[in-house]
Amino acid sequence: MKPHDLPTELVPAAGGVRLTLRALSKRFGPREVLRDNHLDIAPGEFVAIVGRSGCGKSTLLRLVAGLDSPSSGELLIDGTPVQGLRESTRIMFQDSRLLPWARVLDNVALGLPAAERERARDVLAQVGLGDRTGDWPARLSGGQRQRVALARALVHRPRLLLLDEPLGALDALTRIEMHALIEGLWQRHGFTALLVTHDVQEAVALADRVLLIEDGAIALDQRIALPRPRRQGDPAFAALEKTILDRVLQLPDAEPATPDASWPPAAAHALRWAI
């Protein structure tokens, strides 16, 4: 933010930040959306957060982005408590949120000093849209819009990139393309990435760690040690995906110790009728 901080931002591949949550909670009125979350993310790590809708995963991302402030607990970047929006953090939204009245290049250069506009062109080339700089966003497909949004986030050389279900509205083929693109750019730029998604396959394809949030708390922290680039047909990939998915859906074989507790409610109801 301060002028003398700027040069460090401009160093290419500034690397990722260490992100730490300490007893982070968030309440909206009487409703507790996140409760007492502890988390430590290493610099440059790619972490995916999965969970059912309404579990609090997007709220967590908004807290980390500085768009909302926690009700209690602390958020630390590289060991220092932070509040509010930061230069080093960029967020990519589910809807691309491009300015429809600005051409592609101007969208990417949004918030950049005039002297650095050329960099926007480079980043657009990196996401494969170097030839669309003069187009209106309305002329782009959904996948192209998300690539522009990705370029807009990366042009600021973020050290923490937050992705809020950025591929949720795209078709399956475009998603696979986008996975490769995001993975490649992440490896190249070295930022810390936090991806919120409801697609377990996407989480396993991209992340070093998959977190499951349930009822506002981190319920599972699964490390994904598969070599990159990952293949979706791979047996190890499929096994991990199934483990996490079963846990999300709370299928009985995910928790063999307490089968009764995880029976679907309909079954319990039917049982009572039988008696």
Burial class (CB in 10 A: 0-12, 13-18, 19+), 13: exposed
Return the number of the residue (34 or 91) whose C-beta is nearest other proteins.
91
Return the number of the residue (96 or 201) whose C-beta is nearest other proteins.
96
Sign of CA dihedral 95, 150, 68, 85: negative
- Least Cα distance to 44 among 186, 216, 252 occurs for 186
Compute the distance between CA of residue 106 and CA of residue 134 in angstroms, rounded to an integer. 9
Compute the distance between CA of residue 76 and CA of residue 21 in angstroms, rounded to an integer. 6
Least distance (Å) between residue 85 CB and other proteins: 6
Residues lying near other proteins in the complex (CB under 8 A): 65-67, 85, 87, 89-91, 93, 95, 97, 99-103, 110-111, 136-138, 152, 156
Return the number of the residue (3 or 265) whose C-beta is nearest other proteins.
3
Return the number of the residue (29 or 100) whose C-beta is nearest other proteins.
100
Least distance (Å) between residue 138 CB and other proteins: 5
Name the 3-class secondary structure at 5.
helix
Q: At what angle do helices 172-189 and 142-154 cross, to 10 degrees?
A: 10
Residue 176, CB-side half-sphere exposure with 13 Å CA sphere: 7
Least distance (Å) between residue 123 CB and other proteins: 14
Least distance (Å) between residue 156 CB and other proteins: 7
Return the number of the residue (102 or 226) whose C-beta is nearest other proteins.
102
Compute the distance between CA of residue 89 and CA of residue 84 in angstroms, rounded to an integer. 11
Least distance (Å) between residue 231 CB and other proteins: 34
Name the 3-class secondary structure at 186.
helix
Sign of CA dihedral 51, 54, 58, 64: negative
Return the number of the residue (61 or 244) whose C-beta is nearest other proteins.
61
Least distance (Å) between residue 104 CB and other proteins: 11
Return the number of the residue (191 or 210) whose C-beta is nearest other proteins.
191
Contact 221, 209 (CB under 8 A): yes
Contact 155, 166 (CB under 8 A): no
Least distance (Å) between residue 243 CB and other proteins: 34
